[in-house]
Amino acid sequence: AQRVTQPEKLLSVFKGAPVELKCNYSYSGSPELFWYVQYSRQRLQLLLRHISRESIKGFTADLNKGETSFHLKKPFAQEEDSAMYYCALKGSGNTGKLIFGQGTTLQVKP
Amino acid sequence: EPEVTQTPSHQVTQMGQEVILRCVPISNHLYFYWYRQILGQKVEFLVSFYNNEISEKSEIFDDQFSVERPDGSNFTLKIRSTKLEDSAMYFCAGTGGPGQPQHFGDGTRLSIL
């Protein structure tokens, strides 16, 4: 089965603290994984994808095939990082459909 | 930067009525999708559309649902006879290729009374 699990509904940290948003997946084959972010009252936006291996807004995510994880990390959280974060897996086949996790709300307190 | 636009932003409809949700994708996109998110639940794939036909649909996408792109710009999702459980946020998305990131619209909040 193809599945994405984000175990935390809410993660609350203080400004300047490290952040790790967990994402685990279930997929046979080579997965393609993404993190999308949704700021308050805005659309879902791509934050990063594992194949590009880049850092956006200080966030990074490393694909760990052994642990089937794609956790999102940032060393020092900022208040403007407060948002809903979704981990997504590109489904099998060539339609490009995305399979989303439940999402994690990140709340960064001043 | 071009954006995916969805209308209306909020639709309130009586149960049993037909509803059409509209999306204008980014002009050079070729693959289009509808997703929905019931309040408090995850974003779920409904259907993908390429080359003027459905390329994949989920088990949610039953005979009550249909999609079309009649004029090469608008991409619509029709629900023929709405049910209470159709109340959700519906997102349109598009991309230039199936392996490329998808661009999402703001969504339409559908409320069935």
For residue B27, is it left (φ>0), alpha (ψ between -120 and 50) or beta? alpha
| Nearest chain A alpha carbon to B30 | A95
Of B33, B41, B105, the CB nearest to A97: B33
Which A residues in the span 15-34 are in contact with B, Cβ-Cβ below 8 Å?
A: 32, 34
Distance from CA of A40 to the nearest CA of B (A): 11
What phi and psi, each to the nearest 5 degrees, are found at residue A39? -75, 165
Splitting chain B (113 residues) into consecutive groups of 10 residues, what average pLDDT does each group show?
91 96 93 94 94 93 93 90 96 90 94 96
Q: Find out whether the peptide bond into A75 is cis, omega within 30 degrees of 0.
A: no
Residue A100 near chain B (CB below 8 Å): yes
Q: Do A97 and B107 touch (CB under 8 A)?
A: no
- Mutation to test the A interface, candidates B104, B106, B108, B109, most A Cβ within 10 Å: B104
Residues A14-56: tens digit of each pLDDT: 999 999 999 999 998 889 999 999 998 788 999 999 887 777 8
Rounded alpha-carbon distances, angstroms, from residue A72 to A77, B39, B53, B66: 12, 24, 36, 36
| Structure confidence by residue, pLDDT tens digits, A52-108 | 777 789 999 989 999 999 999 999 999 999 999 999 999 988 899 999 999 999 999
Task: Decide if B43 and A103 are in contact by the 8 Å CB cutoff.
Answer: yes
Per-residue tokens: A93: 């086949």
pLDDT of residue A82: 97
- Pick from A43, A48, A105 the residue to mutate for testing the B interface (most B CBs within 10 Å): A43
